[in-house]
Amino acid sequence: MRVIVHEGSLRLRLPIPLRLASLAVNLVPEAAFVKMRESVPEPFQELLTKDYFKMVVRDCVSVLRQYKGLEIVHVEAEDGTYVSIRI
């Protein structure tokens, strides 16, 4: 995935590997999932687990790889600021 930001003289291109998403889920402590489960209605609490999130991220990453080059965010402001996120 590539994040591109143009703002005035700033031209920023950030390549972000899709695998970083699964790493981010691994870094979230189990206590955060417990706290999230407290604020969710009963039938959905069993879905808020680290293992479930890992599975969802794995499935999403495999689907996103099929659409390489797809622009999912394209924003241009009046002052010339430009943000683009491509897979």
DSSP string computed for 26-87: HHS-HHHHHHHHHTS-GGGGGG-SHHHHHHHHHHHHHHHGGGTT-EEEEEE-TTS-EEEEE-
**pLDDT by residue (tens digit) across 59-75?**
888 888 888 889 989 99
- Decide: 33 and 58 in contact? Cβ < 8 Å: no
The predicted structure's pLDDT at residue 20: 86
Where are the chain's structural domains? 2-86
- Determine the average pLDDT of the residues in 14-27: 86
- Decide: 74 and 3 in contact? Cβ < 8 Å: no
The predicted structure's pLDDT at residue 19: 81
pTM equals 0.63
